């Protein structure tokens, strides 16, 4: 029998019930105050990933890999995942949030707990990768983590089949990746730090149903791509970050806070983006 592999990339900011940085900050970073709220959020994160994984299995997937894609990438509670799935943890994975799409025979990629891009209006905890990237554009199109991850998956011939998260993120994903992606909004954004949420059990129910339908219809899906070579522009919150990023070979300064470069393919694009985000982690007080 042919393998039908599925990768589930699960983030936390788009999970039902989450609307504060306290809830998504592991205690070692957020302090003891965040511990109880973080534990509740990681529990729901795991249940939503489990719902997507079970939906994929019930739709005929023969192998499901759940990839922890938030912060330290050590958030999942594995005992809550369906038996038979594999899971990936650790924050130094070669393909980061979409680790596993390179394995071969992957039918599709499922996004769970995804959030809106930096600068979005009403997107709860909207950001792209970190707190200081203000804008990311690929061939002039503004994008977020969903777009960068979709392009990287597309490099390996893997389409995005499904996404869940806040309503702003779902609208952005539909606009960029197309209406073929099945989306489930588990909350409605009111502001950067407020949302109206579904009941958690209703959220997991809808995620299961959406993921199952998406995997059943996977044969019709196409990998996401763009025009190559692609021009990428990153805008930061401070000129000092652009100063640092500009020193990387192949990167040019576009304005006070923006740098750009060209990539021949999505792998180069993603790894360059990742490196520049790290290079730009500079002290701002001299």
What is the DSSP code (8-state) at residue 233? Answer: E
pLDDT digits (tens, 9 = 90+) for 132-142: 999 999 999 99
Considering the domain boundaries, does residue 135 fall inside one?
no
pLDDT of residue 27: 80
**What are the structure tokens assigned to 283, written together?**
């002290």
Please give the model's pTM, rounded to 2 decimal places.
0.96
Tell me if 56 sits within 8 A of 66, measured CB to CB. no
Q: Is residue 66 part of a domain?
A: yes
Q: Are 159 and 271 in the same domain?
A: no
- 239 & 173 share domain: no
* CATH number of the CATH domain containing 234: 3.30.1360.130
For residue 245, what is the enclosing H or E element? Answer: helix 239-246
Residue 83 is labelled as binding a ligand: no
What CA dihedral angle connects 214, 216, 219 and 221, to 10 degrees? Answer: 0
Out of 43, 127, 155, 231, the active site residue is 127
Instruction: Look up the domain containing 74 and give its range.
Output: 5-117+152-220
- Sheet of strand 258-263: strand arrangement: 141-142, 133-138, 230-236, 258-263, 252-255
Tell me: do 66 and 48 sit in the same domain: yes
Question: What percent of the chain lies above the pLDDT cut of 90?
Answer: 92
Residue 268 annotated as part of some ligand binding site: no
Q: How far is residue 178 CA from its own chain's centroid?
A: 16
> What is the per-residue pLDDT for 29?
60
Work out how many domains the chain is built from and give that number. 2
In a domain, 145, yes or no: no
Annotated active-site residue 238? The verdict is no
pLDDT above 70 covers a percentage of the chain that reads: 97
pLDDT computed for residue 3 by the predictor: 76
Q: Write out pLDDT tens, residues 16-68.
A: 999 999 999 988 765 555 688 999 999 999 999 999 999 999 999 999 999 99
45 plus 96 within the same structural domain: yes
In a domain, 179, yes or no: yes
181 & 240 share domain: no
DSSP state of 214: H
**144: in domain:** no
- Residue 43 is assigned to a ligand binding site: no
**Pair 171, 270 in one domain:** no
- Per the domain annotation, does 134 fall within a domain? no
pLDDT at 2 over 90: no
146 assigned to some structural domain = no
pLDDT over 90 (residue 177): yes
Asked whether residue 145 is marked as a ligand-binding residue, the answer is yes
Q: Is 70 annotated as a binding residue?
A: yes
Q: To which residue do tokens 């596993």 refer?
A: 100
Q: What is the mean pLDDT of residues 173-180?
A: 97
The token pair at 229 is 């070579």
138 assigned to some structural domain: no
pLDDT for position 285: 78
Do 159 and 254 lie in a common domain?
Answer: no
pLDDT for the residue numbered 34? 61
DSSP lists the bridge partners of residue 232 as 138, 261
pLDDT, one tens digit per residue, over 97-109 is: 999 999 989 999 9
Q: What is the CATH number of the domain that holds 39?
A: 3.40.50.10780
pLDDT for 141 equals 97
Asked whether residue 174 falls in the same domain as residue 49, the answer is yes
Q: Is 265 exposed, middle or buried (0-12, 13-18, 19+ CB in 10 A)?
A: middle
What is d(CA 105, CA 40) in angstroms, rounded to the nearest whole number?
A: 35
Same domain? For 106 and 50 the reply is yes
pLDDT band at 259 (very low <50, low <70, confident <90, very high): very high
Structure tokens given for 96: 């980061």
Rounded to the nearest 5 degrees, what angle is found at the Cα of 64, between the Cα atoms of 63 and 66?
Answer: 155
252 pLDDT band, cuts 50/70/90, is: very high
Q: Which of 186, 220, 254 is the last residue of a domain?
A: 220
Check pLDDT > 90 for residue 144.
Answer: yes
Please identify, among 220, 245, 263, the residue that sits at the C-terminal boundary of a domain.
220
Q: Is the pLDDT of residue 1 over 50?
A: no
Query: Angle CA(79)–CA(200)–CA(38) in degrees, nearest 5?
Result: 60
Question: Is the same domain home to 208 and 242?
Answer: no
pLDDT, tens only, 181-239: 999 999 999 999 999 999 999 999 999 999 999 999 999 999 999 999 999 999 999 99
- Are 102 and 204 in a shared domain? yes
The residue from 194, 220, 246 where one domain ends is: 220
Residues 244, 201 share a domain:
no
């Amino acid at each position: 029998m042919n393998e039908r592999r599925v990768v589930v990339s699960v983030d936390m900011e788009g999970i039902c019930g989450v609307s504060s940085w306290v809830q998504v900050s592991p205690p070692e970073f957020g302090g003891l105050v965040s511990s109880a709220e973080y534990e509740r959020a990681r529990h729901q994160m795991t249940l939503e990933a489990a719902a997507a994984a079970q939906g994929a299995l019930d739709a005929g997937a023969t192998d499901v890999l759940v990839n922890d894609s938030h912060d330290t990438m050590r958030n999942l509670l594995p005992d809550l995942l369906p038996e038979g799935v594999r899971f990936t943890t650790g924050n130094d994975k070669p393909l980061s949030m979409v680790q596993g799409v390179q394995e071969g025979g992957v039918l599709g990629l499922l996004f769970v707990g995804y959030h809106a891009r930096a600068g979005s209006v009403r997107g709860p905890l909207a950001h792209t990768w970190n707190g200081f990237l203000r804008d990311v554009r690929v061939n002039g199109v503004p994008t977020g983590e969903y777009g960068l991850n979709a392009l990287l998956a597309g490099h390996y011939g893997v389409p995005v089949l499904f996404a869940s998260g806040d309503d702003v993120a779902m609208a952005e994903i539909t606009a960029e990746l197309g209406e073929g992606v099945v989306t489930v909004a588990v909350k409605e954004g009111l502001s950067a730090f407020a949302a109206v949420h579904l009941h958690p059990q209703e959220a997991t129910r809808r995620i299961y149903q959406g993921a199952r339908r998406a995997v059943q219809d996977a044969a019709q899906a196409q990998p996401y791509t763009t025009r190559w070579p692609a021009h990428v522009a990153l805008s930061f919150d401070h000129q000092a970050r652009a100063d640092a990023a500009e020193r990387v070979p192949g990167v040019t300064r576009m304005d006070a806070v923006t740098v750009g470069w060209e990539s021949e393919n999505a792998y180069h694009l993603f790894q360059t983006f990742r490196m520049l985000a790290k290079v730009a982690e500079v002290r701002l007080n001299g």
